[in-house]
């Protein structure tokens, strides 16, 4: 994918990755961010923002996010910039689905929202077609291409397959040096 983006993912430990993913997915991110800061302090970090974040239980959400971004920078973790955040979130959600840390239908819901939030970027259209196919199937119709033969009982398997396919394509592109 994007070289700097790939390097930042490699350097980001799992608790920071989970915290950032929850933030981008607009789910419960406060606890993972604070947990990451406490893990860093336990590991010996002396970064001021990490210390402040570890004690931010009652701070407003925007302050927790600001501290997390600042602490990540102080810790040498390069979070994806806003331009890359959607791609990062798509990849993270797919990895969560494939590793069974997230239910496929919950992941699809976030990925559909990602498409909407991207102002309908065609890069994320697979999640639209899959989401709309689910609605059509629930109403007794067939799904949209390429999911026209999907059955509702195959939904989780189909979501898993699409998530895995995206991860494999991005891995191949990263190896080939193709940024997209």
Indicate the burial class of 87 (C-beta count within 10 angstroms; 0-12, 13-18, 19 or more): buried
pLDDT digits (tens, 9 = 90+) for 98-143: 999 999 999 999 899 888 888 888 999 999 999 999 999 999 998 8
Mean pLDDT value across residues 10-17: 59
Distance CA 115, CA 130 (A): 12
pLDDT digits (tens, 9 = 90+) for 39-93: 899 999 999 999 999 999 888 888 988 998 899 889 888 777 766 888 888 988 9
Distance CA 154, CA 105 (A): 11
DSSP summary character for residue 77: -
Would you say residue 94 has pLDDT above 80? yes
What pLDDT sits at residue 5? 47
What pLDDT sits at residue 176? 59
| Bond before 146 cis per omega within 30 degrees | yes
What pLDDT sits at residue 1? 41
Kindly tell me the sign of the dihedral angle through the C-alpha atoms of 146, 149, 152, 157.
negative
What pLDDT sits at residue 168? 93
What pLDDT sits at residue 112? 92
DSSP summary character for residue 123: G
Average pLDDT over all residues of the chain: 84
Would you say residue 24 has pLDDT above 90? no
User: Degrees (nearest 5) of the Cα angle 141, 147, 152?
Assistant: 55
What pLDDT sits at residue 177? 55
| Strand (E) or helix (H) holding 71 | helix 61-74
- Provide φ and ψ at 25, rounded to 5°: -80, -5
* Sequence-ordered strand ranges (E) for 45-108: none
Location of structure tokens 């920078």: 73
pLDDT digits (tens, 9 = 90+) for 149-164: 899 899 999 999 999 9
CB atoms within 10 A of CB 44: 6
| pTM confidence score | 0.70
Tally helices (H) and strands (E) across the chain: 9, 0
């Amino acid at each position: 994918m994007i070289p700097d983006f790939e390097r930042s993912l490699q350097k980001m430990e799992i608790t920071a990755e989970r915290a950032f993913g929850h933030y981008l997915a607009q789910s419960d991110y406060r606890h993972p961010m604070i947990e990451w800061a406490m893990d860093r302090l336990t590991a010996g970090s002396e970064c001021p923002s990490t210390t402040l974040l570890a004690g931010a239980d009652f701070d407003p959400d925007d302050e927790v996010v600001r501290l997390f971004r600042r602490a990540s920078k102080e810790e040498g973790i390069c979070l994806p910039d806003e331009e890359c955040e959607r791609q990062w979130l798509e990849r993270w959600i797919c990895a969560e689905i494939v590793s069974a840390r997230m239910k496929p239908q919950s992941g699809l819901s976030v990925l559909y929202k990602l498409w909407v939030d991207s102002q309908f970027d065609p890069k994320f259209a697979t999640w639209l077609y899959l989401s709309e196919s689910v609605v059509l199937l629930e109403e007794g119709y067939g799904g949209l291409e390429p999911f026209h033969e999907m059955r509702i009982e195959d939904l989780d398997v189909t979501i898993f397959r699409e998530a895995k396919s995206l991860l494999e394509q991005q891995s191949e592109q990263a190896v080939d040096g193709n940024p997209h």
